[in-house]
Structure 1
Amino acid sequence: MSLRQVVVIVLGVLLNGLNSSMIAVALVPISATYHVNSQATAWLVSGLYLATSVAQPTMGRLADLLGPKRVFCFGLVLTGLAGLGAWFAPDLGWLIAARVVLGIGTSAAYPSGLALVRRNERDGEGIRTSVVLGAITISSQVCTAFGPSVGGFLITWFGWQSIFLVNVPVTLLGLLGALFWLPGDQQAIRGNLRSVLRSLDSLGIALFCAMMIALLFFLMRLSSGIAWGPLVIALLAGGLLFWREWRCTTPFIDIRMLASHGGLLMTYGRYIATYLVFYSVFYGYSQWLEQGRGLAPDMAGLVMLPVAAVGALTAALMTKKLVIWRGLLGGALFMLIGTGLLQLAGSTASLWLLALIAAVLGIPNGLSNVSNQNALYLQAPASQMGAAAGLLRTSQYVGAILASSLISINYHQQATDAGLHHLGLYLTGVSMLVLIVVLIDPKLRALSDHLVKKVSTQKGEKEYVRSTR
């Protein structure tokens, strides 16, 4: 694969991480523009992640059916249109809709990009595949790390609308590069529209969305009492989803695989809990820095920088070894310490202390993220690795959706010291639960201690394999 092809793919992939993180410092000015509270703006976060949790595996399947270049270009067009739509948003509802479309559009680049990389790997020319995959991973982490800082700069100088409009020139560049430099889709479109929709498990996707939306409504209204209607809908949709996916030949969520691999189910649960804490900090802490601490968006972005930057650095160091149990244990411990330190944050706290708290909270993201992915690699059947990896990404977004609900419950009208401290207590409880699960799971420790070894391939590259069955 040539350098310019790699640049085009990376340009498309980074848009998802950038749009996910820039919004963290835009929630307060958006709230002021539309005169809404924190519970309303939480839908800007959960809406994108709900769309992304469904769109990423769906776009991957579409790339197989329609061709990766077609899907890659379609995603860029959709992203650019969403950026324009957000710029002209007359109200919050319109902006939420634009964020949903943005989530769908930015979800296309990663699965279609990997499909393009795989195709060029067979050609055996250009940059090595390991280097290309590393570039894709690092670019996504870097964009997540610097997203709040970039967003803070744009908001300070050009207004919050600029974090959406910036997608337009980037997608235009990516689209031109894709049309001229990416290899064409040689295969014809497989099947008609009906067969394509059938292979996507549209009913399963619809039930998943209904369950998550109803659950969001239920969680966001907990502060004012139990909303029985959304709870009943969520349970009903969840039951129908289980019934549907158990019988579906091409399920959106492979229930049979989860039922036959209990370790995988535990890994998904840890991943949801880890990202529940991460996104609660990423969005909740930054919102408090602006409203509770009174920082400008650009300064809040700088204080938040260590969360993702330290996490990315830790993850990079972790990739040198296939660590599982020790990484999960360390991640849970630092998560417990970091969420406990949130009790020290206050309107009079120094910026150095606030940045230190952010740095400590970044460590578990790197440790737990890599360790859970390593566990998935060993636990998932080789024939179902793609589906298992897709569910891991979906678990991440479910954690983000739950985090937006938890933030809205604790902040109500705006982020205060008391709200942040209450949020921290919830997160400390989740962290303690993760630590207990890691400590009492004997299979997890055995997986790390006895089933892993490092070997060299004939090409001289390093890879990890099961040492025993």
Structure 2
Amino acid sequence: MSARSWWLMISVGLGMLLNPLNSSMIAVAIPRLQHVFQLDFTVVSWIIFTFYIASAISNPLVGKASDLFGRKKIFLTGLIVALVASLLAPFSSSFGWLIVFRIVQSIGTSMMIAVGMAVIRIHIKEKQATALSVLTIFQSGAAAIGPFIGGVLIHWWDWPAIFFINIPFVLLSFLFCWRTIPTDEMPTSAAHSMSFRKWLDSIDALGILLFTTGLIPLLVGLLSIKPSEPVSFISVVAVLIGLTLLGVFVRHELKAESPFIPLRTLAKYPAITWVNVEFMIVNLLFYTLFFGIPSYLQTVRHVSEFHTGILMLSLGLCSLVASPLAGRWIDKSGPRPALFVAAILMTLGAVWIVTWNQTSPVISVCLALAVFGICNGLNSVGMQAALFRSSPKEIIGVVSGLFSTARNLGAILSSLLIGIVMGDNFSFGGFRLLGIILAGVALSLVFMNRRQQESGRLPES
């Protein structure tokens, strides 16, 4: 592989790591933001899933826009948007403005995620698997060390530092990408002459609008439900409005020529549907713990942000170590054995969390984090392998987009679950209840994987 190809991978990787870095650093900032803005836990949790909602919506939109306007332009624009958000977020006068800048940051960083892989696939002709694995290391590494970096920054400089840290990455990536990403070819005459309305139809703007306007009231209604209080009329209305709009969204997607989420494709290939559902559940489990354990350590155990980041590092490092080992295992035995073992480990880890108390030794927390890190490595590689084995080559692009959406939906559901269980304040009792719920969900994954392995629904070779 040429030196120019390596520089292209590094340039793109520096931009692509911003999305997982910012989605993971926030995990250790929740208690601090709750204290600074004097808000209850339910309200503060919006900073988590608004990021994932914006990312879930932006990915397919940006992917289609890059075909029309050029990938280099979209990638560089994403860097500029991320830079503006990182500069303005630390000066937010209220939590509402901080949410706005987080959404802008999510859109900007998602532009690089959506386009980066395409840039590498198009402009690196040899050893593409190696090139894609390098980008995966950038993203996985950023997610792995995000809580550690966030903990250190908040400990020494307070929460605005988790936004300022993006600036050197953005500037380096912009400088390198400006020089290394080849200029896109002129769009085809059909794309160049496409009207704005035609472009809106091609990206399914109505579908995106229905999905967004349905998801937000549904989440607002569910988050306003508190275990200790009766359900309010407004909450019920919000949930019903959300479900109604999502029902209209499903009906629209079944008729749309270029749907935001291709439901007909999912119906035609049930194995793809199953992998995406399973991946969403896996991410629900992972992100519930990823965001829940730092809050448990800081709120219940009164561990500092700095030491919380150090403890969370064991999860990320074990995930990085497990990923290449999982790849070798899956190449030999197929994805199902690895996914089955991961489900068992997640069940044992969740049960282990239920046994914790306010004085459980730190080594117990580290072991649980290590177990979940190994599970994340097995699941990340195993799920992708299962997806590719069950997907026809001609729709692999659409399937990859759905896979990313499933991850984001899992993260959104995890934030929703934490908010509903915890209510206004993060408590030890609520955290133990989360562990019980997750143990049940993980146990169901054990049976699901076992059943699929026996039925051969997903081919192993």
Q: 2:302 aligned to 273, 280, 294, which one? A: 294
In the TM superposition, what whole-angstrom CA distance separates every residue of 1:229-259 from its partner, at most 9, and x where no partner exists?
1221122112111111111111110011111
The aligned counterpart of 2:378 is 367
Unaligned runs of 5+ in 2: none
- Counterpart mapping for 1:101-112 below 5 A: 101-112=104-115
Is this contact kept in 1: 2:389–2:459, CA < 8 A? no
In the TM superposition, what whole-angstrom CA distance separates every residue of 1:82-121 from its partner, at most 9, and x where no partner exists?
1122111111111111111111110111231222212213
Distance 1:272 1:319, change over 3 A: same
The alpha-carbon deviation at position 444 of structure 1 amounts to 5.8
Q: 2:367 aligned to 356, 371, 375, which one? A: 356
Say if 2:164 is the partner of 1:165.
yes
Question: Separation in 2 of the partners of 1:219 and 1:17?
Answer: 26
Is this contact kept in 1: 2:219–2:239, CA < 8 A? no
Question: Separation in 2 of the partners of 1:82 and 1:146?
Answer: 21
Question: Separation in 2 of the partners of 1:444 and 1:396?
Answer: 25
Deviates more, 1:252-261 or 1:232-241: 232-241
Is this contact kept in 1: 2:5–2:124, CA < 8 A? no
- Counterpart mapping for 1:247-266 below 5 A: 247-266=255-274
Secondary structure of the equivalent of 2:183? coil
Say if 2:201 is the partner of 1:198.
yes
The aligned counterpart of 2:431 is 420
Secondary structure of the equivalent of 2:418? helix
RMSD: 1.6
In the TM superposition, what whole-angstrom CA distance separates every residue of 1:305-325 from its partner, at most 9, and x where no partner exists?
222221222222111233221
Question: Separation in 2 of the partners of 1:392 and 1:416?
Answer: 33
Is this contact kept in 2: 1:37–1:413, CA < 8 A? yes
Say if 2:447 is the partner of 1:439.
no
Question: Separation in 2 of the partners of 1:412 and 1:301?
Answer: 25
Deviates more, 1:58-67 or 1:440-449: 440-449
Q: 1:276 aligned to 267, 284, 290, which one? A: 284
Say if 2:248 is the partner of 1:237.
no
Q: 1:95 aligned to 91, 94, 98, which one? A: 98
Unaligned runs of 5+ in 1: 453-469
Aligned length: 446
Say if 2:44 is the partner of 1:41.
yes
Question: Separation in 1 of the partners of 2:313 and 2:355?
Answer: 19
Letter of the 1:266 counterpart: W
Deviates more, 1:180-189 or 1:334-343: 180-189
The alpha-carbon deviation at position 36 of structure 1 amounts to 0.4
TM-score (norm 2): 0.93
Is this contact kept in 2: 1:324–1:448, CA < 8 A? no
Deviates more, 1:213-222 or 1:355-364: 213-222
Question: Separation in 2 of the partners of 1:25 and 1:416?
Answer: 16
Distance 1:136 1:442, change over 3 A: closer
The aligned counterpart of 1:180 is 179
Question: Separation in 2 of the partners of 1:192 and 1:198?
Answer: 10
The aligned counterpart of 1:137 is 136
Question: Separation in 1 of the partners of 2:391 and 2:256?
Answer: 20
Structure 1 runs (4+) greater than 4 angstroms displaced: none
Secondary structure of the equivalent of 2:456? helix
The alpha-carbon deviation at position 165 of structure 1 amounts to 1.7
Question: Separation in 1 of the partners of 2:269 and 2:372?
Answer: 31
The aligned counterpart of 1:81 is 84
Secondary structure of the equivalent of 1:222? coil
The alpha-carbon deviation at position 193 of structure 1 amounts to 3.0
The alpha-carbon deviation at position 411 of structure 1 amounts to 2.1
The aligned counterpart of 1:212 is 215
